[in-house]
Amino acid sequence: MVTKQTADQLNAEFNEKEIVEALKHIASQFPGKVVFTTSFGIEDQVITDYVFKNGIDIKVVTLDTGRLFEETYKVYNRTLEKYQKPIQPYYPKNDELESFVGEKGPNSFYLSVENRKQCCFIRKVEPLGRALDGMECWITGIRASQSNNREDMLLFEWDGGHEIVKYNPLRDWSLEDCKAYVKENQVPYNVLHDRGFVSIGCSPCTRAIQPGEDFRAGRWWWESNSKKECGLHTHQ
């Protein structure tokens, strides 16, 4: 059984070690219970390459919200072709999504923060819960510099909401580090990154950012007073 102490122990042991070594260790320590969630952004593609290229026994999954960019699906398919490894999709529950859209319409998330968060919950948070069910270690592509509320994040964290150890191998990487890695290793990446998109989520909720804008400015840009998170990484 994993606990917060498990995360503390892993931080003490692996803070200065290479990513591949850490990935192999946690795959061995939690056999069959390590999952990596990818959205096919540039950070996630770096981790996918580490996992697949080194044949590490880690389950790779993705949350298909049904509102993703066409470019994202192209990266998904190119990744399958390159590595010949499975990526398990998780979809929203039909009855919940049909009820939500039937009651409020397909674009109700523009009308209120409450609607947007409900949409995120149905399309992302609930499927994530199923993806993490029974798992003991969750690998993410989060970087500390992506937003102010992530500056103090640890390499290994305890997610109390899901009762799971969360590993953030790219915590100290910059966006430029990720770009250099995918170029050097010929990793498929989303061409939207070349068009000013730094954080790529659902198509209606993501735009390119302008020079000097905050990293998260491209997500839910019509909201001015809400915390710009979808709920996937808020349980500590």
Tokens of residue 19, six digits: 């990513």
DSSP designation for 155: S
Comparing CA positions, the residue from 169, 165, 150, 139 lying closest to residue 15 is: 169
| Cα gap 220→49, rounded to integer Å | 29
φ and ψ at residue 218, rounded to 5 degrees: -85, -5
- Reading the block at residue 21, the tokens are 């070594």
Catalytic residue among 119, 120, 205, 230: 230
Q: Is 202 a catalytic residue?
A: no
Sheet strands side by side (includes 156-159): 88-90, 59-63, 34-37, 137-139, 164-167, 156-159
Judged on CB neighbours under 10 Å (0-12, 13-18, 19+), 219 is buried
SS3 37: strand
The secondary element (H helix, E strand) that includes residue 60 is strand 59-63
Amino acid code (one letter) for 112: S
Strands 156-159 and 164-167: antiparallel
Residues 123/202, Cβ–Cβ less than 8 Å: yes
Which positions ≥6 away from 145 have C-beta within 8 Å? 151, 174, 175, 215
Active site residues: 230
